Amino acid sequence: MNRLLYNRAIVNKLSELIERYPDLRFGQLLVNCDIIELVPDGTAMIALDPFDEESKITWEKMTKNKYCFE
């Protein structure tokens, strides 16, 4: 699969989850799907930027996530 297909799969799954969980904020969905990772930094949580992460890796993390695929 190429990057375009992975991006479409990610967006399609997020669209499905938006409909299933309409009360969640978009950022919550991204964290719940393991797209954005929160790490502790003293007394706060820091969001790691997945800017350099390939779409294939993002999709593979989502497929292993019980929130995305029960």
Q: Could you give the percent of the chain with pLDDT greater than 70?
A: 100
The answer to the question of residue 69 being in a domain is: no
**Would you give the end-to-end CA distance of the chain in angstroms?**
23
CB 58 within 8 A of CB 50: yes
What domain range is 54 assigned to? 3-63
State pTM to two decimals.
0.90
The answer to the question of residue 54 being in a domain is: yes
The answer to the question of residue 47 being in a domain is: yes
Around Cβ 4, how many Cβ atoms within 10 Å?
9
Calculate the average pLDDT of the chain: 96
Q: What is the pLDDT of residue 30?
A: 97
pLDDT class for 70, splitting at 50, 70, 90? confident
Count structural domains, the chain: 1
pLDDT of 18 above 90: yes
Q: What is the pLDDT of residue 1?
A: 79
Question: Can you list the positions of beta strands (E) in the chain?
Answer: 37-41, 44-48
What CA–CA distance (Å, rounded) separates 22 from 6?
24
Q: What is the pLDDT of residue 21?
A: 97
The answer to the question of residue 70 being in a domain is: no
The answer to the question of residue 49 being in a domain is: yes
